[in-house]
Each structure stands twice: as C-alpha cells, then as structure tokens.
A = this chain, B = another copy of it.
C-alpha cells in the first residue's frame, strides 16, 4: 500500500465491492460485502468513510454507483450523453475535497424518451479504455434493469434501460403464472421459443405473457418449462429493444455468466454475434482512466 494507491468502491443499492489499487493500477486487495447504500443509516456515510480510511489508509477514494443517488451519500447530477471519461472526471462530486469523489451517472433525454444510469457508465467506458471492445460498439449489461448502450468514438452516445429482470421477478413472485414458474430459467427449446416469439411479434409481450398460461392449459407447454419460456419472452423483447438502439455489429455482454448465457442464446436467435466482457476488469479500467485525468 504505497502513497499513490487509490481505493475504489462499486457501491450499489444492496452490495458494494471494494478494490485497492497500487500505483501501477494493479489490484492489491478486493472484497465485497452487503453494506449497500440502503444499509447505511441516513447521514452515516462520513462515519462509514472514517472506518474505511482506518482500514485502507488515507488515500484517494473514487466511489461509483448508487452512492451518488438520492438514496446514497450525496446526489451527483447525471451527465447527459454523449459522455466520455473526460466528462465523468470533470463532473466528479467531491464529498471530501481532494480525498473522496463520487462518479456521476449518465442520462439521456430525447423527445419523450428519458433514461438514467449510475455505475454502468464506468464499466462501459472502461471496456473501451481497456481495449476489451472497440470504440464503436454495442454493449449489454443484463440484470434487474438491463442496460443497452451504444458507444461511438469511445463515447457513450445512447442507452436504454429495460425492466427485464424486475418483470421476471414480479411474474415469478406475484402473478397468475407464479405457481408454475418454479424451475430455473435455462437455455433450451422453451426458452428459444419464447425468444423467437418476442423477436417475431414485437409489441405482443403483454398478451404473450398470458399466452404462457393458455399454452399450459392447452397442453402446448409443460408447466416446468414456463419459467424458461417467460424468460425467453422477456429477454427476446429486451434484445429487440437493444437491436433498435444498436442494429449492427457484435454485442459486448457484461454480467453474471448465468444471465449472459441466456442473452447470448437470445442474440444467437436474433442472428447477432456477441462477446463476453469481464465486468470487473472493465470497471477498474474505467476508474483508472478517470483517475489518470485528475490533477
């Protein structure tokens, strides 16, 4: 832990990941815990920061993610697209001057379409900075709120958030389909059929979801395949939205392998190529690119 090291925290709603980097940008320590922003009491962030400095030393801390939201330490205003590393570095919110900064999120407003992100912007720009994907590319980060992003000349120029994971959880937990959605979602014939249905019939999702039940009642779908079929419908609709944002070229996939595998299968059905990108490596590259621009 030399004097030039920095600490960065990917600080989400329910979890955080802490990385200590040496002067050469190598990770010398990493840990994760459940102290997401909602686990810290209101006004408790300066105290929490003191505890972190006691453990990791009085270094530069760069924080990203929901820590910069209205539920976090302080609200870091969204930077409108196009956003590159310089824009993020210029708009850091210094919660402890010269010592601790929060990376702002990104936003887009075009006609009646509005969207926001916090944390993913670091990964997206970091993926390019690390050379993991080209400066003109499409990226997808599956999850509760899946993100699709378009990068042009290394800048984030457009993005969309799709409520895929959350809709799946709502349907599995509280809907007329819940009783059947027991098994895990896996790639297979039922999943692929759901994907194709959504790719071929854009806009039919709210009907096709009920169709899941009808298919079971009419003997067209085995009840144990319903979670995979619903997952296919939702991810197919998601991939169609992503294809609208970034119609050509390979898609970089960042996320939990269990989930990116399903997106890879859906992209395959849509005739799109893809490449897996390591999210941690992309995040750290993004943070290092920001840190390099600091005085």
Contact = CB atoms under 8 A, between A and B. Distances in A.
Contact of A109 (B109, B196, B203, B218): B218
| This chain's copy number in the assembly | 2
A144 to B, nearest CB: 8
Interface in A257-287: none
A210 B238 CA distance: 12
A163 B241 contact: no
A196 B130 CA distance: 42
B238 A206 contact: yes
Instruction: Report which residue of A78, A112, A160, A170 has the largest number of chain B beta carbons within 10 angstroms of its beta carbon.
Output: A112
Interface in A196-234: 196-197, 202-211, 213-215, 217-218, 220, 234
A197 to B, nearest CB: 6
A210 B174 contact: no
Given A161-B214, A175-B166, A215-B114, A206 B220 contact: no
Name the prevailing secondary structure of the A interface residues.
helix
A210 B163 contact: yes
A116 B218 contact: yes
B163 A206 contact: yes
A74 interface: no
A35 interface: no
Interface string A147-187: 00000000000001111101100110111100000000000
Nearest to A215: B114
Nearest to A220: B114
A160 B240 CA distance: 22
A174 B173 contact: yes
Contact of A237 (B197, B206, B218): B206
A283 B175 CA distance: 28
Contacts of A164: 206
A238 B210 CA distance: 12
A208 B164 CA distance: 11
A208 B163 CA distance: 9
A115 interface: yes
Listed from nearest, the 6 A-B pairs whose CB atoms lie closest are A202-B203, A170-B170, A114-B214, A161-B210, A203-B203, A116-B214
